[in-house]
Structure 1
Amino acid sequence: MTEQHAVTRTLTTREVVKPTPAELMEDTGTGLDFGTRPDRMPGHLTPADRFFVRNHAPTPRLDAATWTLMIEGDGVRAPVSYTYDDLWRRFPMVSVVRTLECAGNRRALFAEETGARFDGTQWGRGAVGTAEWTGVRLRDLLEPAGITSRACEVMPEGLDAARARRPLPLAKALADDTLLAVAMNGEVLPLDHGFPARVVVSGWLGAASIKWVGRIEVSEQPLRVPWNTRDYVLFGPGHPAEGTPITGVPVSALVELPWPARLRRGPQIVRGRAFAGERAVAAVDYRVDDDPWRPAVLTTPGTAGVWARWQFHWNPRPGDHVIRVRAIDDQGRAQPDSSAWNALGYCQNAVLAHPVMVG
């Protein structure tokens, strides 16, 4: 068992700031991690009060007046530091809408699929959310430090007790939509979501979007830390012995119904979301019981790094049913019938058989 998983499994007290009522959030039992109820996603953006929380340690209470960000390492010519006020006053602000998803999302369903027991947070379907993030492009903060010609990785580090950190390739760190965010959905970042500042990495697993950032290391050598060697790594068939660090997340679909669901009789609309990481969602199909697959209607465009919304009309007969939904990305990759097995239960994206009782 990894160190981070050990912390997650033994913590019994609640260590986040915002309320997490059962009518909005799913409690994973760790005291640190809370998912969004899929039937409580009201719009394209996930409100901050119900955006999923994934912590490796209790939410820190940081003071913006004394907070500083240090950029250093052998990949810069001269270290620089910024205050919170610097972020707001010295650099252009940009806003992007991006979806974040934990690589362990649906781990509990992966266990049901395979009959295995995976360590780590036992997520249902709720470790995914979309927000408008506002902040400074990471490249604008790095530029004054003078990136060397041999720099290859950039690693943000959090100020939580776990010092969560995960390196990015230089090209990803310098991308237009990689931000150091200071606001979420038009409001100052909430404590649980990274105040004073967090990284937002488009299309990658949520663990790359480090919260409570206080230091960024720019390195001329590949960096190895627990978050890319022991956790957030695929171990198993088809992967080298040291594992394959997870970057982008695979295409998947989410039905906005409880599990299992109980519906009234009569015509209704079934809705959901689909996400394909760095790729765009091109289509979503649905199937009820043994009926043929049919196309759902995309009600928002599936762009890279952002989920798409979909829906279909259904007039069900009373009784027990199963709804299956599969998303397809812009490279033609569709959700498989079974997930690729890995030892830590990451990246579950098989088509789910969603149980529904009508009447």
Structure 2
Amino acid sequence: MLLLRHCRCLTRVGLLKTQRVQLLQGAALPVAVCSSHRGHKSGQYQRSHGPNWRHALAGLLAGTGAVLAYGLHHSQTEQAATTIVQPIAPASSLPIYTQDEVTKHRSVEEGVWVTYKGSVYDITEFVSMHPGGDKILLAAGGALEPFWALYAVHSQDHVLEILSEYKVGELSAEDRRKQQSVKSTDPYSTDPERHPALRINSLKPFNAEPPAEILSDNYITPSAIFFKRNHLPVPQVDPKSYRLQVEGVPGGAPLSLSLEELKTRFPKHTVTATLQCAGNRRSEMNKVKQVKGLNWGIAAISNATWSGARLKDVLLAAGYMPEVVRQTSHVQFEGLDSDVTGTTYGASIPLNKAVSEEGDVLLAYQMNGEDLPADHGYPVRVVVPGTVGARNVKWLGKIIVSEEESSSHWQQNDYKGFSPATDWDTVDFKSAPAIQELPIQSAITQPAEGAVVERSAEEVTVKGYAWSGGGREVVRVDVSLDGGRTWQVAQLQSSEKGQVPAPSPPPGRAWAWKLWELTAPLPPAAQELEIVCKAVDNSYNMQPDSVAPIWNLRGVLSNAWHRVKVTVKEDEEEQKLL
């Protein structure tokens, strides 16, 4: 995921621990002569920084997840880093550069320069030190504004303070006028309206979850409150000119399908499937130790009916033959959502999942019986049942059958799980496989943390959801009112209330969640309840009892026992008697 949005984390982790001088206030800029200066004429204005600042600035410029997170780790562990600085002349005496001169500095060899609001910054030393240097180079020689327009969090004082440390000059007056004459547009201005009940994790890009207390009210989640997970602005796609490109099928030929052809040429299939973000329940990992990512609660998961053409049928139309499995291993997807460089969201799944008769992978154009909403991929998205939400690519533009999995950042350097011992100094993203199937999961949606239960009610009703990845069916949910010392079995729900319960799905094709409910007597004399739930699937996979052993630096795969504490309130008459 693009980590530019994580700049908000700078405030929380306290990067700005040393005094910073603001050029906007007319003060001098503290600098130190960089011993590794490569010889260009801005050398006397460079500063030698510790790796924490290198990676922090790189995160502001780059479009990859590991970028800023790497630097933020150092900000926490290098509390007392010191740098000898020398004052220089006021900002007005800095060299003047033309845009042509800045543009020449687009490589490590020539120096990597960028501009922002008429000022010039040299970030050469960061590129060679940073694992996402290729992404930083996307802004090299040009302006930061188009990149930062994607993420509103950059318009904050602490972010500008960091950048000001690396100022080496001013842009010429003529080039400043040219920049100012170019209107900057908000790439999110055409995003759709959202339901006001959603709890927002980030506005740009938009990421939000429904309130947990209403999540389990419906077996099929209404589209309006289905959790929203966007990495980039929602693209505007004309259904009349839309084309889905299919490429790379060995022995086949490229295929280009209109929306109408997708709907009429292939049989329509409907699948009820739950989608869950890899970061669901990340907030609980943050309580153990800070991780990098959106602070999702328990509701980055929802259930819907999806209708469309089977991916297998489309691949067959493009010339796929069963023997192709011996030549290729992956099916890549590219979305139509992109950043200002044209980089699109991408992901891939194993070929055997894509073409399996039992895989039920859809090129969906309907959600809950209606056209896909804009936030959910209109006009076409991939629905890969049983697989992490990140592989269910929205606004689908291209399908590529390949020997390699997607080279996308979100496939290669994000959405991977690591040991609790792995930190940003030791992480090697290539050492872990991309998340596909998710582990067993359950959570309590009612009552909420901190709720009050009246003693006079004599009982408490607990509700929640349970789901397991890979098509494994949830067969049991255990609930405890006393922190896990004793347990009771909840009643499972596999359809809307009042409807005939759905039969058990075929083995390996349990794509939808189970809602569950338990009504139990209040324990005598208990003043507080620690309600706990844990689910079991038909492979007898069970949730771990605590978060710490599964903690990881990206906060994904959070599926420990869910715990909620509520207070039992005594009746006023009973309190008087006591």
Q: Distance in 2 between matches of 1:9 and 1:204?
A: 29
Higher deviation after alignment, 255-264 or 225-234: 255-264
Cα contact 2:234–2:375 (8 A) shared by 1: yes
**Number of the residue aligned with 1:101:** 276
Cα contact 1:76–1:151 (8 A) shared by 2: no
Q: Distance in 2 between matches of 1:351 and 1:30?
A: 30
Q: Pick from 285, 288, 296: which aligns with 2:481?
A: 288
Structure 2 gaps of 5+ residues are: 9-150, 154-185, 495-501, 570-578
Cα contact 1:26–1:126 (8 A) shared by 2: no
The residue identity in structure 2 corresponding to 1:102 is C
CA gap 1:28/1:221 in 2 versus in 1, 3 angstroms = closer
The residue identity in structure 1 corresponding to 2:542 is A
The residue identity in structure 1 corresponding to 2:295 is Q
Q: Distance in 2 between matches of 1:175 and 1:54?
A: 27
Report 1:323-338 matches (<5 A): 323-338=531-546
SS of residue in 2 equivalent to 1:44: coil
Instruction: Tell me the CA shift for residue 273 of structure 1.
Output: 0.8
SS of residue in 2 equivalent to 1:166: strand
Q: Distance in 2 between matches of 1:26 and 1:203?
A: 25
Higher deviation after alignment, 96-105 or 173-182: 173-182
Cα contact 1:20–1:34 (8 A) shared by 2: no
Q: Distance in 1 between matches of 2:473 and 2:563?
A: 24
Report 1:35-74 matches (<5 A): 35-41=209-215, 42-73=217-248
CA RMSD after TM alignment: 2.3
Structure 1 gaps of 5+ residues are: none
Instruction: Tell me the CA shift for residue 227 of structure 1.
Output: 1.5
Instruction: Tell me the CA shift for residue 338 of structure 1.
Output: 2.3
Cα contact 1:180–1:200 (8 A) shared by 2: yes
- Kindly indicate whether structure 1 or structure 2 has the higher relative contact order, using CA contacts under 8 Å at least 6 residues apart: 1
**Number of the residue aligned with 1:34:** 208
**Number of the residue aligned with 2:439:** 250
Q: Pick from 352, 375, 390: which aligns with 1:171?
A: 352
Is 1:305 aligned to residue 511 of structure 2? Answer: yes
Report 1:133-148 matches (<5 A): 133-147=306-320
Higher deviation after alignment, 235-244 or 222-231: 235-244
Instruction: Tell me the CA shift for residue 331 of structure 1.
Output: 1.1
Cα contact 1:103–1:206 (8 A) shared by 2: yes
Instruction: Tell me the CA shift for residue 77 of structure 1.
Output: 2.1
Report 1:314-329 matches (<5 A): 314-316=520-522, 319-329=527-537
The percentage of aligned residue pairs carrying the same residue is: 33
SS of residue in 2 equivalent to 1:61: coil
Cα contact 2:453–2:566 (8 A) shared by 1: no
Shift >6 Å, 4+ stretches: none
CA gap 1:288/1:89 in 2 versus in 1, 3 angstroms = same
Q: Distance in 2 between matches of 1:259 and 1:59?
A: 32
Q: Return the TM-score normalized by structure 1.
A: 0.91
Q: Distance in 2 between matches of 1:9 and 1:52?
A: 23
SS of residue in 2 equivalent to 1:140: helix
* CA-to-aligned-CA distance 1:228-282 (integer Å, 9 cap, x gap): 2111112336999422211111111121226424244213422111011111111
* CA-to-aligned-CA distance 1:137-172 (integer Å, 9 cap, x gap): 001111121136212211111000151111111111
Q: Distance in 1 between matches of 2:557 and 2:291?
A: 12
* CA-to-aligned-CA distance 1:99-146 (integer Å, 9 cap, x gap): 00000111111111x2x2111111111110000000000011111211
Q: Distance in 2 between matches of 1:19 and 1:328?
A: 35
**Number of the residue aligned with 1:159:** 336
Is 1:117 aligned to residue 285 of structure 2? Answer: no
**Number of the residue aligned with 2:389:** 206
Q: Distance in 2 between matches of 1:30 and 1:342?
A: 25
Higher deviation after alignment, 168-177 or 79-88: 168-177
Instruction: Tell me the CA shift for residue 222 of structure 1.
Output: 3.9
Cα contact 1:264–1:358 (8 A) shared by 2: yes
Q: Distance in 2 between matches of 1:72 and 1:206?
A: 23
Cα contact 1:232–1:346 (8 A) shared by 2: yes
SS of residue in 2 equivalent to 1:173: helix
* CA-to-aligned-CA distance 1:59-96 (integer Å, 9 cap, x gap): 11211011110001264621000001111111100101
* CA-to-aligned-CA distance 1:161-206 (integer Å, 9 cap, x gap): 1511111111111134100000000111000000000000011100
SS of residue in 1 equivalent to 2:316: helix
Is 1:12 aligned to residue 152 of structure 2? Answer: yes
Report 1:256-295 matches (<5 A): 256-257=445-446, 259-265=448-454, 266=457, 267-278=459-470, 279-290=472-483, 291-295=485-489
Q: Distance in 2 between matches of 1:184 and 1:313?
A: 33
Structure 1 or 2: more strand by fraction = 1
Higher deviation after alignment, 301-310 or 148-157: 301-310
The residue identity in structure 1 corresponding to 2:546 is S
Q: Return the TM-score normalized by structure 2.
A: 0.58
